Every structure is written in structure tokens, then in C-alpha cells.
Amino acid sequence: MRIVVLAGGIGGARFLRGLKRAAPDADITVIGNTGDDIHLFGLKVCPDLDTVMYTLGGGIDEEQGWGRTDETHRVKEELAAYGVGPEWFGLGDRDFATHIVRTQMLGAGYPLSAVTEALCERWQPGVRLLPMSDDRVETHVAVTLDGERRAVHFQEYWVKLRASVDAHAIVPVGAEAAKPAPGVLEAIAEADVILFPPSNPVVSIGTILAVPGIREAIADAGVPVVGLSPIVGDAPVRGMADKVLAALGVESSAAAVAEHYGSGLLDGWLVDTVDAGAVERVEAAGIRCRAVPLMMTDPAEGLAAADMARAALALAEEVRAS
């Protein structure tokens, strides 16, 4: 079975770990969000790709969900001693090495997809990890700060401001001119199932879908497309998805996110059992919907994620058989 998964960071990575357990023989291609990539200290940092790579490769800091385990921060301390920031973005010493290798390879002329493949040779994530595009796409957030309206990098909004101010708009700068990375459209065309993990529907999966050709390829693939709600009981499972949903005028509920994707894209939708009341509304929108436990909480997270993946694959079979 060939499965294509569109993934953001922590939520996507943890779901993927469950999917690998649920479908150990599947051929999994992950299309990773690169809209939250950022240049820091002259280095190219790809937070979502790295979170997937580290999580599946066994190098992740399990507690915080991103970055390397057993990490130190000497490089960053020294950069601060030089007065060079930003200080609000956490880069550990081991993590720095990844960005140094990536930046060196990009500087030598390799596209991000080739760089990602090379990095994965070390991590052996057990999936094929593709960036959504080799072209630069950068998600900016329009906010009002000190009375002035300005656009900040997504990471500045998310990490520095901690989404503490309203987002007026979310703009994946460069997306309209970006091309899907090599292999992306082919993987979608050859997929048996396409899954949207409980990643952020706006700044993770939404950004991937903003790359021209990807949304169309998924809609035209003719295979079940099943998603998992990142909203449980009207609140995001993780992060601050409600903040960026509001910028799009989408209410923060499991049903509203399904409607936002729409039945033209989505065939099946899983909501948490606490949102069982939303099933009817989602199905009314033409999307088959089931309520199952959707909390990937530690310590049973790995098992819960596998159960969620099994439920998603079962729903996909239901869609196929219908």
C-alpha cells in the first residue's frame, strides 16, 4: 500500500510514528511543509522537515517534541555573546550541525529535496521525506504591533510572540510561484491513500496545498483522502491553530476545519469522541466522518497514534468501498 501524508511538525511527526506501526509494510511518502523554514545566523533551518526526520529517526527531544535529544546550547550562547540573535529561537548544538550540513549543500547547488534525502540517509526515518517544494516559500503573518500593522515571519509570530496577538492574515509568500518538489506529484498520483494528520490546517497543510499543483493533484488522484482533526473540543490539540484559523474566518472546531478543506478535497474526516456531535454536520458537507479518540498523549502516545492511523486507514477503506 502506498500512502502519502502531508505533514507539518510535531503533530504530523507523531502521527507518522503511529502510522509506521499501524502499517509496517506500507510505502509511505511524506510531503513536508517548508513554509516555516527560516534563515537564522546565515543558516537554513527547516523546522518541520527536521521534526519529522528526528522523530522518525529516533533523535527527537521527546519532551518538547522538536529539536534533538540530549541537547546543549553552547553555540547559541556564544552567538548571544557576540550580540547576534535572535535569541528567541531555540537552536541546540546538535541541531546546528543539521543546519550547517544543509546550508553547505544548498550553497553547493543541491536542491532542498536532494539535501533532505542526504540528511535522511543518516536518520533512516523509514518513510520517503520530500519537501513540498525546492523553491523558497515563507509564511508571513500580518499583525498589529505597537499600533502598527506589519508582517512577521511565521516563526516570529509563533515562537517569539507565541501567537499572543491576532493574526489578520496568513500569507505563504512565494507559494504562487513555487513548483512541487521532484517526486511530489508522482507520489500523489501513485498513492492508494492520502492522509492529512492532525497538523495545523492553515500554516502546515494549508501551506503545502498552496503550492500550485498539489491541491489539484490530490483532488484528482481518485483515491481516498482522509484527515484527522487537529481541533478537539473546540481547542487545538497542540499549538495555537485557533489563532491562525481565525485569520481565515474559520471557527475553531473539528467540523469547521473539515468544511474548510471541503468535500472537493477531503473524503473522510476523523473527529475526537468528544466531538461526536460534529459527525452529522461534517457528513452533511459531503465528507464521511467518524469519531474516535484523537489524543496523542504520552506515555501511551505511540499506541494512541497507531490506533488513530488504523482508524484513518479503516475510514479510507470505507470510502473506497462506498
The answer to whether 117 contacts its own copies (rule: CB under 8 A) is: no
CA distance 232 to 68: 28
Does 177 interact with its own copies (rule: CB under 8 A)? no
Q: Which of these segments, 68-76, 131-139, 232-240, 314-322, binds its own copies (CB under 8 A)?
A: 68-76
CB 286 to its own copies: min, Å: 47
32: left (phi over 0), alpha (psi -120 to 50) or beta: beta
User: Is the omega angle on the peptide bond into residue 299 within 30 degrees of 0, that is, cis?
Assistant: yes
Which neighbouring-strand residues pair with 153? Answer: 140
Note whether 228 and 294 are within 8 A (CB).
yes
What is the phi/psi pair of residue 182, to 5°? Answer: -55, 130
What are the phi and psi torsion angles at 26 (to 5°)?
Answer: -70, 155
Q: Which residues pair with 43 in a beta bridge?
A: 40
Phi-psi region of 66 (alpha: psi -120 to 50; beta: other; left: phi over 0): beta
Minimal distance in Å, beta carbon 104 to its own copies? 3
**Given the rule CB under 8 A, which of 19-27, 73-81, 183-191, 214-222 is the region that contacts its own copies?**
73-81
Q: Where are the alpha helices (DSSP H) in 194-300?
A: 205-209, 214-220, 241-247, 254-261, 279-284
Q: What nine digits make up the cell of 279? A: 459527525
Per DSSP, the residues of 177-194 read G--BPTTHHHHHHH-SEE
93 marked ligand binding residue: no
Sole binder of its own copies in the list 27, 57, 69, 101 (CB under 8 A): 101
Considering the complex, state which of residue 121 and residue 148 has its C-beta at the smaller distance from its own copies.
121
Closer to its own copies by Cβ: residue 88 or 298? 88
- Is residue 242 involved in binding its own copies (CB under 8 A)? no
Q: Answer yes or no whether residue 72 interacts with its own copies by CB under 8 A.
A: yes
- Show the binding pattern over residues 28-67: x = contacts its own copies (CB under 8 A), - = does not: -------------xxx------------------------
- Stretch in the footprint of its own copies (CB under 8 A) among 72-80, 124-132, 211-219, 260-268: 72-80
Question: Taking CB under 8 A as the rule, does residue 93 contact its own copies?
Answer: yes
Task: Select 77 or 298, whichever has its Cβ closest to its own copies.
Answer: 77
Number of residues that bind its own copies (CB under 8 A): 28
Q: Which is nearer to its own copies, 74 or 320 (CB)?
A: 74
- Quote the crossing angle between the two packed helices 47-57 and 10-22, to the nearest 10°: 30
Whose CA is closest to 134, among 100, 177, 91, 196? 177
Of positions 57, 69, 86, 100, contacts its own copies by CB under 8 A: 100
Q: Residue from 1, 97, 177, 300 that binds its own copies (CB under 8 A)?
A: 97
Q: Which residue ranges make up the annotated binding site?
A: 50
Residues lying near its own copies in the complex (CB under 8 A): 41-43, 72, 74-79, 81-84, 93-94, 96-98, 100-101, 103-104, 107-108, 119, 121-122
